[in-house]
Amino acid sequence: MPTAKIAPSLLSGDFANLASECKRMLDLGADYLHMDVMDGHFVPNLTLGAPIIKSLRKHTDAFLDCHLMVSEPEKWVDDFAKAGASLFVFHIEATKDAGALIERVKAAGMLVGIAVKPGTPVESVFPYAADLDQVLIMTVEPGFGGQSFMANCMPKVRALRDRFPDLDIQVDGGLGLDTIDQAAAAGANVIVAGTAIFGAADPRAVISSLRQSVEAGGKGPASA
C-alpha cells in the first residue's frame, strides 16, 4: 500500500488569504495542497486558474496537486507547468487523446494523473495507469464542495488497487471522519477533504485521523 497522503482542498479555504491558508494546512500536517481548477464549462462552477497557482508558488514550496475540471485540458499544460504545479490531473472525459496528453504533461516537468467522474467506468483508465502518478476517483459529481460522499464509487477504488497495487489512488468528495474508513478499506491512499478539515474545530486532529484510517486500512480512530 502506498504512503498515506492528506490533501486539504483549498476550495474550502479563505480565498482572500490563500497563501496563509496553505501555510496553515501544512503546519497542521497536510502532505499535499489540493487545488480545484474549474472553468465554468466542463463543470458549472468557476474557481482558480494558473495565475493563482503562480502567485501561490512564490509563497510556498508545497506539493500543489492541481485537479483540472476543465474542457480541453491540453490548452493548459504549459501555463500550469510555468505556474509551478506539481501534479497535473485531467479528466478522462475531457480529452480525446489521453496518451498524448500524459506525454505532454510529463515533458513539461509535472507529475500526471487522470480523474474519473462517478458515472465513468474505471476501466477507462486501465490502459494508461502504468504511466500515471495518480488516479483520482471522484466520490461526488465534480463542480462544488460540500456534497455527500458516494459510497457506490468504492468498487472503482478496489478494482484499481487490486490491479495496480503501487498506484497512488486519490478520492475526492464528501470525505470526512464518517466516510474515510470506507475509502481507506477500498484502497484509497490519497485523501482530499475540504469542509471536513476547514470546517473543523480541530483541523489538525481531523488530518491525523484521516491519515491513521488510511494507514490502518479503514480501521483507524475515525471508526471509533
Q: What is the CATH number of the domain that holds 14?
A: 3.20.20.70
Q: What is the pLDDT, as a whole number, of residue 221?
A: 56
186 SS3 class: helix
Residue carrying C-alpha cell 460540500: 146
Using 50, 70 and 90 to split pLDDT, how confident is the model at 187? very high
Q: How many structural domains comprise the chain?
A: 1
Using 50, 70 and 90 to split pLDDT, how confident is the model at 143? confident
Query: Per the residue annotation, which of 31, 39, 65, 172 is the catalytic one?
Result: 172
Instruction: Identify whether the C-beta of residue 68 lies closer than 8 Å to the C-beta of residue 92.
Output: no
Whole-number percent of the chain with pLDDT over 70: 98
Report the C-alpha gap between 194 and 141 in whole angstroms. Answer: 15
45-91 confidence digits (pLDDT tens)? 999 999 999 999 999 999 999 999 999 999 999 999 999 999 999 99
Using 50, 70 and 90 to split pLDDT, how confident is the model at 219? confident
Q: What is the pLDDT, as a whole number, of residue 220?
A: 63
Instruction: With a cut of 70, say whether residue 23 has pLDDT above it.
Output: yes
Q: What is the pLDDT, as a whole number, of residue 146?
A: 73
**What's this model's pTM, rounded to 2 decimal places?**
0.95
Report the C-alpha gap between 177 and 15 in whole angstroms. Answer: 24
Q: Any idea how long the chain is?
A: 224
Instruction: Identify whether the C-beta of residue 133 lies closer than 8 Å to the C-beta of residue 112.
Output: yes
Report the C-alpha gap between 175 and 183 in whole angstroms. Answer: 8
Q: Which residues are annotated as a binding site?
A: 9, 34, 36, 67, 143-146, 172, 174, 194-195
Instruction: With a cut of 50, say whether residue 180 has pLDDT above it.
Output: yes
Instruction: With a cut of 70, say whether residue 222 has pLDDT above it.
Output: no
Measure CA 81 to chain center: 17
Residue by residue, DSSP assigns 77-129 as HHHHHHHT-SEEEEEGGG-S-HHHHHHHHHHTT-EEEEEE-TTS-GGGGGGGG
SS3 readout for 115-157: EECCCCCHHHHHHHHHHCCEEEEECCCCCCCCCCCCHHHHHHH
* DSSP structure class, residue 64: E
Residue type for 17, please?
N
Has 79 been annotated as catalytic?
A: no
Q: Which residues are annotated as a binding site for substrate?
A: 9, 67, 143-146, 174, 194-195
* Short-list 165, 156, 73, CA closest to 112: 73
Query: Per the residue annotation, which of 36, 39, 65, 168 is the catalytic one?
Result: 36
Which residue range is the domain that position 173 belongs to?
A: 5-223
Report the C-alpha gap between 218 and 188 in whole angstroms. Answer: 9
